[in-house]
Every structure is written in C-alpha cells, then in structure tokens.
Amino acid sequence: MANDKDPLLGALGICRKAGKLLHGYDRVEEAVMRGKACLVLLACDAS
C-alpha cells in the first residue's frame, strides 16, 4: 500500500524524515521514561 493511500503511513514517513521517529526497545523505553514519547506502536508479533 502506498503512503499516499494510507494517512498513517504518510504521517510516519514525515516523522521519520524529520528525525522524530524512534525504533528499538532501548531508544523507545528511554523516550517513554523521559516523557518524550507521544505515541508508541507495538507490533502484534513483537517478542
């Protein structure tokens, strides 16, 4: 599915390009603990 057809993917792309998208447990955990995370997405198959 192309980003122009899914608003969520488009928004994630903008965040990534702006350097505001984090991935990886440690980086996300730190952002949450500091109160810097606005939204956390977790894959249903995450371990």
Q: How far apart are CA 30 and CA 23, in angstroms?
A: 11
* Predicted local distance difference test score (pLDDT) of residue 4: 65
* Predicted local distance difference test score (pLDDT) of residue 39: 93
* Predicted local distance difference test score (pLDDT) of residue 40: 95
- Does this model's pTM top 0.75? no
How far, rounded to the nearest angstrom, does the alpha carbon of residue 45 sit from its chain's CA centroid? 16
Q: Tens digit of pLDDT per residue, the chain (47 long)?
A: 455 679 988 999 999 999 999 999 999 999 999 999 999 999 898 77
**How is the chain split into domains, by residue range?**
1-47
Q: How far apart are CA 35 and CA 37, in angstroms?
A: 6
* Predicted local distance difference test score (pLDDT) of residue 5: 75
